[in-house]
Chain A
Amino acid sequence: MKNNGSKSEAASDKMSSDKKMFGHTRVIDFMRLRMGATALSVLLLLGSVATLFINGINFGLDFTGGTLIELSYDKPANVAAVRNQLGQMGFNDAVAQEYGSANAVLIRIPGSESNATLSNQVARQLNAAYDGEITLKRVEFVGPQVGEQLRDQGGLGMLLALALVMLYIAFRFQYKFSLGAVIALGHDSLIVLGVFSLFGLQFDLTVLAAILAVVGYSLNDTIIVYDRVRENFRKVRRGTPVEIINISLSQTLGRTLATSGTTIMVLLALFFLGGDMIHNFAAALLVGVGVGTYSSIYIASNLLLYMNISREDLIVPVREDEVDDMP
């Protein structure tokens, strides 16, 4: 983002490897760390899979079915008393907790005991036993079959999105790119899932939406980099694939940081000011955008190298024949 290049130097397409300059862009040797990045990503992925196996995902009401009741008391609520009462009503597996403020209580009753009139019963009984005023702020009830259906639909949607995106990239770029992009975004969403599993954060429908948005964002990032890689492979005559990728990453670095910066800023605003209902949504996106930025630099391009990307992959066929000048 800084104007480092001195104006006196002539613009050229040539690499001057000792100064690590390409044109007027300082070239950073990102790929020097590619082994380290690979190791880190493999570690993160294995960690995510491990925690998914050990801790599982804390599925929210949307997916498990059950009843959720948010109550607002006129003075700080005694959660222990609420728990006690719920136990007396026969809901031994019900969970009651403070929600947002001391006056608000959130009650979750798992799927097995639920029917649609339950929420009103519980609210009425709690109200009767309390000498102040309780207002019912929010009720959610999801039948167990609906939850199952949503889970299936969500998974199906993910797969469909991946397939279509792969097709589009294969059509616009080349299949190695589409494989790289899809692996990179799989990497990102798996790590987000891993973080949610590790910290036991609630995974509901909005979080699923957030993960799909991460997919979109991560793709966006990756494609901007790939676009440059494609352009440079065609434009820069000399240079190994590693060098070309380093050049492309350096050229897009400013943009990558600026966009991630603005996105993370608004996400922080959402995280802190958006309220409890989209807290986890913002959290998923924050993790996702962070990982997405890393993966567009280190994973997506790195994968191209593992797939032995070469100039031939990107030659526009209609051009007059070009001499192979690969080293």
Chain B
Amino acid sequence: MNRYPLWKYLAIFLFVAIGAFYALPNLYPDDPAIQISGAGAATQVGETQLKRAVAALNAEGIAVKSTETSERGNSVLIRLTDNEDQLPAKAAVKEQLGHDYVVALNLAPTTPDWLLAFGATPMKLGLDLSGGVHFLLEVDSQKAVETRMNVYAGEIRTALRKERLRYRTVQGANPIAREFAFTDEATRDKARSLIIKEFPDLTTTADEDNGRFIVSATLGEQQVRDLEDYAIKQNLTTVRNRVNELGVSEPLVQRQGRKHIVVELPGVQDTAEAKRILGKTANLEFRLAAGFDAAPGTTDTFEFRSQPGRTANLQRDIIMTGDQVANARSNVDTQTGSPEVNISLDNRGGELMKRATRNNVGQGMAVLFIEQKFMGNRTETRMVDGTETEVSVPVYREEKKIISLATIQAVLGSNFRITGLDSRAESSELALLLRAGSLAAPMHFVEERTVGPSLGKENIRMGINSTLVGLALIVVFMLVVYRFFGLVANIALTLNLLLLVGMMSILGATLTMPGIAGIVLTLGMAVDANVLIFSRIREEVKNGKSPHKAIAEGFDRAFVSIFDANITTLIVGVILYAIGTGPVKGFAVTLSLGILTSMFTAILVSRAIVNITYGRRRQLKKLSI
């Protein structure tokens, strides 16, 4: 009676074999490596660069394990023998090759080709195991909305002036609304229909207040939400570009929730440099220089960034902001040999630029660089859970400086260049600032976690040790208490560990320190199913059932309890996954997967082993349990 049909044995065997196969790559640890690629997409990187790099490493006395060039000829990889060598190696190679190449730290997999051919890759290691940096950035999307509203206000003013409708601006208290006051009703109505026609995104209302006739233009709720969304997406792109500038291979840049961006840089990192480049909370504004005849109140005065003390008057209207800059590259004019910066704008930016420069050829245009400077903290009283609490709030001050003031030579479109720069250094600095400034809204660091590589290694060692010791303790315990059946449970448990690792590798799940704790905990709890089954079999034997019947009933009856108990734990695991971040998520993944694999091994695998052992013996008198 205790026999499975052949196909069932085969299916179980196959499943275990697949799990074991995909667990295999984890036996091959990653090599510390550095990767060299071109700064531009077209730059070729091959044997020549590799030779120079290796020579530089040899000069520094850094051991090279092996090298490889990519098939497409745009990057090379140098494997090192020691983790500690990575940073010095990067510095040495960077110095040798210069700024046309990006040198990135890398962890190169050593998975053999025959495993890769089946898509088998090792588990990803979390930052607490591999070492690395985790940042959480908060995007101040409210600022993006305000800036866009300023742009609109400028455009409306221009449109009103063109139609010769005399107005006075009234600054509304609401950041998403602007009010324009007129002296008579007819002008106001004309202005209103003009705004409705030219700016369909804005909602307008007409009003009268003490003989002033007012039109107010407001951004709709949907527009505000779209803008906020756009701000995050734009910042995400910018952060990605900045991370690329850092030269980190396999970084993670991800949106989290409504206003956060997660950045994870695995491996050894220079955290100060990373924070400096990521944290450039800059934005840009393009404005026309004010002529001498400009009416007072329509201009602002700003200082130059590179020449403190020198100032210029700019019009208050903003042509466009930095998030419309798609790219900026430093270049040398092939004919004159003088440095320049090539700028490309997105469609909307091109449109705005064309409109603004059409009538202003020969005038000056300035690029304003806006930085949020951290000024320290300020205590603020806030209502938290119904009680007034002192909360410390970081204070940022906005600083606007001119980084470029140039004369408009022709009507500009989506692609134009800034010439007349003094040096190559100035042009690359300006290009960098233009790229960095393509943030749609300022960002602040709200979280950082850095784990040094030595601590990561220590964590892995401790994790493996505690898993093995835990496993050994259980194995001995089960053998003592359940003898042969204990052996069955131990086989099931070991296969469970193998399957769990295999599943995590297949799913590309990330292993973290709490994840390892989850695995250890799962091991402890995974024997539970076997214990339940075995105590049930014992009971049935005591109640006088024949061994075969006891086995069958033990497995059947225990199943209901196992199922109910595991489903509820699974509910908890899934919720942990949903609410958790980082390490907690890792724990939830291993816990939930562990429950699934343990149900498979404890019920099906151990039943199969028991069936193979006892199934053919008709005259079974006694069970070793």
A255 close to B564 (CB less than 8 A)? no
Q: Which of B90-98, B349-357, B403-411, B583-591 contacts A (4 or more CB under 8 A)?
A: B583-591
* Residue of chain B at shortest CB distance from A223: B565
Interfacial chain A residues near B578, Cβ < 8 Å: 157
A258 close to B535 (CB less than 8 A)? yes
A76 located at the interface, meaning its Cβ lies under 8 Å from any Cβ of chain B in the complex: no
A216 located at the interface, meaning its Cβ lies under 8 Å from any Cβ of chain B in the complex: yes
Interfacial chain A residues near B340, Cβ < 8 Å: none
Interfacial chain A residues near B531, Cβ < 8 Å: 254-255, 258-259, 262
A261 close to B571 (CB less than 8 A)? no
CA A35 to CA B135, docked complex, whole Å: 53
Q: Which of A50-58, A271-279, A305-313 contacts B (4 or more CB under 8 A)?
A: A271-279
A262 close to B477 (CB less than 8 A)? yes
B377 located at the interface, meaning its Cβ lies under 8 Å from any Cβ of chain A in the complex: yes
A269 located at the interface, meaning its Cβ lies under 8 Å from any Cβ of chain B in the complex: yes
Residue in contact with B455 in the complex, picked from A7, A137, A254, CB distance below 8 Å: A137
Number of chain B interface residues as a range: 35 or more
B462 close to A220 (CB less than 8 A)? no
CA A116 to CA B278, docked complex, whole Å: 11
Distance between A226 CB and nearest chain B CB, rounded to angstroms: 8
A120 close to B575 (CB less than 8 A)? no
B452 close to A136 (CB less than 8 A)? yes
B513 close to A277 (CB less than 8 A)? yes
A236-266 contact mask (Cβ, 8 Å, vs B): 1 or 0: 0000000000000001101100110111111
A86 located at the interface, meaning its Cβ lies under 8 Å from any Cβ of chain B in the complex: no
Interfacial chain B residues near A206, Cβ < 8 Å: 514, 517, 583-584, 587
A107-121 contact mask (Cβ, 8 Å, vs B): 1 or 0: 000011101110110
B residues 570-599 with Cβ under 8 Å of A? 571-573, 575-576, 578-584, 587-588, 591
A165 located at the interface, meaning its Cβ lies under 8 Å from any Cβ of chain B in the complex: yes
B residues 376-390 with Cβ under 8 Å of A? 377, 379, 384
A74 located at the interface, meaning its Cβ lies under 8 Å from any Cβ of chain B in the complex: no
Distance between B86 CB and nearest chain A CB, rounded to angstroms: 14
Given A23-B542, A169-B568, A251-B539, answer yes or no on A275-B458 (Cβ-Cβ < 8 Å). Answer: yes
B576 close to A212 (CB less than 8 A)? yes
Given A23-B542, A119-B448, A205-B584, answer yes or no on A270-B565 (Cβ-Cβ < 8 Å). Answer: no
Interfacial chain B residues near A11, Cβ < 8 Å: 543-544
The CB with the most chain B CB atoms within 10 A, among A153, A156, A273, is that of: A273
Interfacial chain A residues near B452, Cβ < 8 Å: 72, 135-138
Number of chain A interface residues as a range: 35 or more
Interfacial chain A residues near B294, Cβ < 8 Å: none
B565 close to A220 (CB less than 8 A)? yes
B residues 465-482 with Cβ under 8 Å of A? 465-467, 469-471, 473-474, 477-478, 481
Q: List residues of chain B with CB under 8 Å of any chain A CB.
A: 128, 135-136, 138, 271-272, 275, 279, 374, 377, 379, 384, 391-392, 394, 444-452, 454-455, 458-459, 462-463, 465-467, 469-471, 473-474, 477-478, 481, 513-514, 516-518, 520-521, 523-525, 527-528, 531-532, 535, 538-539, 542-544, 560-561, 564-569, 571-573, 575-576, 578-584, 587-588, 591
Question: Could you list some 26 contacts between A and B, CB below 8 A?
Answer: A5-B542, A25-B539, A113-B377, A119-B450, A138-B451, A140-B448, A141-B449, A143-B447, A168-B567, A205-B580, A205-B581, A206-B587, A209-B514, A212-B576, A215-B572, A216-B591, A219-B568, A219-B569, A224-B565, A258-B481, A259-B528, A273-B465, A273-B466, A275-B459, A277-B128, A278-B514
